[in-house]
Amino acid sequence: MIRCIAIDDEPLALKQITAYIGKTPFLELAGQFEGAFQAMAILNNSTVDLMFVDINMPDMSGIDFVKTLDNPPKIIFVTAYSEFALEGFNVNAIDYILKPISYVNFLKSANKARNYFETISAPSSKKENDMDYIFVKSGYKTVRVNVADIIYIEGMREYVRIHLEGGKSLMPLISLRVLEEQLPSATFMRVHRSYIVNMKKITTIDHYRIIFEDKVYIPVSEQYKESFQKYINLRSLG
């Protein structure tokens, strides 16, 4: 979940932004403020991942406010004037949204932020067969996960659920595609639009259904049957 605050001196615009945050599954509203100075307390005392900030505010512009912060969250600027938005990229803004704001444009910008956080949450090294652990962001913590403990990974819209030995699981904000690219291909295989499995954990295969020891059944979809069967054939006797 991406923790957000919204800052806008126009009450109607602020209400609209907070409503859009509320209807976006991967965003969490941590606070809303009608001025930059009002937001200082939460930035100093709480974790904020992303700010939606109006550029043209009376006491201090959104851009000047961001420049005062030593370690600012990621920024999406909101403005009625596109010429001001370009200056926002000089402070490493992820995007800007022009007023009046539609939910389509809001969601496009929010997805850019989501992609950014997915990227920084992903393991840094690429498909090394000797990779024995990864780090994933789960909630407000970054958790070390031993690759050998992963049984399978289930795609769940904006999240994935990583199923681990011992019945434990994690739900990081990361896509199945990113994990597929990063996990060692000698061990992990995409077998379905919604599943990646640790091939070393498979107990039984029954008519292209993968069965694990805890009686979990995962289907191998038509798209992945050929590569799955090749993997099994290389390791089959008789």
The residue type at 60 = M
Alpha helix stretches (DSSP H) within the chain: 11-23, 40-45, 62-68, 82-88, 103-121, 176-182, 225-234
Q: What pLDDT shows up at residue 128?
A: 46
Handedness of CA 14, 19, 21, 83 (dihedral sign): negative
Q: What pLDDT shows up at residue 90?
A: 59
Beta-bridge partner residues of 154: 161, 195
Pair 198, 165 in one domain = yes
In a domain, 83, yes or no: yes
Distances 197 to 17, 42, 85, 100, 176 between C-alpha atoms, Å:
39, 41, 44, 45, 11
Beta-bridge partner residues of 155: 160
Pair 156, 78 in one domain = no
Handedness of CA 31, 33, 36, 42 (dihedral sign): negative
Pair 6, 117 in one domain = yes
Question: For 16, phi and psi rounded to 5 degrees?
Answer: -65, -45
Pair 60, 40 in one domain = yes
Pair 171, 103 in one domain = no
Q: What pLDDT shows up at residue 87?
A: 58
Residue 127 is encoded by which pair of tokens?
């498909």
Domain end: 121, 152, 181, which one?
121
Pair 47, 69 in one domain = yes
Domain end: 67, 101, 121, which one?
121
Q: What pLDDT shows up at residue 19?
A: 97
Strands 27-33 and 2-7: parallel
In a domain, 126, yes or no: no
Buried b (16+ CB within 10 A) or exposed e, 39-69: beeebeeeebbbbbbbbbbeeebbbebbeeb
In a domain, 199, yes or no: yes
Alpha-carbon span 91 to 64, nearest angstrom? 9
- In the chain, how many domains are there? 2
Domain end: 87, 121, 155, which one?
121
| Residue 106 belongs to domain with CATH number | 3.40.50.2300
In a domain, 163, yes or no: yes
Alpha-carbon span 40 to 5, nearest angstrom? 11
Nearest to 226 by CA among 188, 191, 183: 191
Pair 11, 94 in one domain = yes
In a domain, 196, yes or no: yes
Pair 208, 172 in one domain = yes
Pair 46, 146 in one domain = no
| Residue 144 belongs to domain with CATH number | 2.40.50.1020
Q: What is the pLDDT along the chain (238 residues), one digit of tens a residue?
A: 899 999 999 999 999 999 999 999 899 999 999 998 899 889 888 889 999 999 988 878 888 898 888 888 999 999 887 665 555 555 678 888 999 999 999 999 999 999 888 877 655 544 444 578 888 887 777 888 999 999 999 998 778 999 999 889 998 888 888 888 888 888 899 999 999 999 999 989 988 899 987 678 899 999 899 889 888 887 776 5
Pair 154, 212 in one domain = yes
Pair 146, 209 in one domain = yes
Structural domain for 186, as ranges: 133-234
Contact 187, 147 (CB under 8 A): yes
